[in-house]
Structures are given as structure tokens and as C-alpha cells.
Amino acid sequence: MPGGWELILIVLVILLLFGAKKLPELARGSGRALRIFKTETKGLVDDDQPDASKTPEQREIEARNAEPPSVADDAVTREQRDTSA
């Protein structure tokens, strides 16, 4: 385990590399990534378990991926295709 002086030295090197303005942004990004990783690993379930253990976000994503595209979406796609030619 690093001692007190080693920790201070590590913090100073990090400050020199990234700067004081970037550190909060890096910490926020790391926190978000860790939170996403945690929810994804917590949401992993076997096929034998029911969907009740899934988070609402996972259910919403699965529902969006499962539903076929609507007629309005298809019309917009055709319009975009027609105007790009």
C-alpha cells in the first residue's frame, strides 16, 4: 500500500498531467461508466429467471428493439431516400 508521501506524489502527477479543470470532468465520466457497468452486471440473468428481475430501463430497451418500425417511420425513410437521389 502506498504511504502518505506516495499518495501526495501520485495526486500531484495526476494534476500535472490532466490539469485541475479536467479532473471533475474525468471523475464524472468515470462515475457514469461505473454506474452503467454496475447496472448492466446486476441485470445479467439466466434464461431460466423471469423478467421481473430486469430494471425498467432494460425492459424499455428490449421493448424498443422488439417492436417493428411503424408506418410513419417507414414513410419518413422513403422520403429521405427519395430526396437524397
Reference 54, options 64, 68, 44, 66; nearest CA is 44
- Distance, CA of 83 to CA of 33 (rounded, Å): 39
Indicate the number of domains in the chain. Answer: 1
Q: How far apart are CA 56 and CA 83, in angstroms?
A: 38
pLDDT digits (tens, 9 = 90+) for 4-59: 889 889 888 988 888 888 888 988 999 999 999 988 887 775 444 555 666 778 77
- Answer yes or no: is pLDDT of 62 > 60: yes
Q: Report yes or no on whether pTM surpasses 0.85.
A: no
User: What is the domain range of residue 31?
Assistant: 4-84
Instruction: Name the DSSP letter for residue 4.
Output: H
Span 39-54, pLDDT tens digits:
888 777 544 455 566 6
